[in-house]
Amino acid sequence: MHPYPTNKARLQRVINWAQDGLKQKEKEEKFVGDIVPQIRKLTLEFLISIKNAHGLRISNLTHKEHSAANVVKEEQTMVVQPYI
């Protein structure tokens, strides 16, 4: 038995440490991936409720956000209006 770890043992510890870090990162990314769309949807619902309550025009939303807001609005009222 060597008094100090061999190079192979050191390398294995580094590999284990890196694998544990990757597993933790994947867990965090999955959590973020699950929660962010929910937060975004709630934010859009809030903006829409403000817009509807005050008749305001939310002009700083991107086209995608407007589309998503329309989908959320349709889900709330359960009325799908055809695009002409």
Question: Do 48 and 69 contact (CB within 8 A), yes or no?
Answer: yes
pLDDT at 75 over 60: no
For residues 84 and 75, what is the distance between their CA atoms, to the nearest angstrom? Answer: 20
Residue 42 confidence (pLDDT): 85
Across 57-69, average pLDDT: 58
Domain extents in the chain? 7-77
CA separation for the pair 76, 12 (Å, rounded): 55
Is 70 exceeded by the pLDDT of residue 61?
Answer: no
Sequence-ordered list of residues with C-beta below 8 angstroms from that of 44, at least 6 positions apart, any chain: 65, 68, 69, 72
Whole-number pLDDT of residue 80: 47
pLDDT per position as a tens digit, 2-60: 566 678 888 888 888 888 888 888 888 787 777 878 888 888 888 777 777 665 555 55
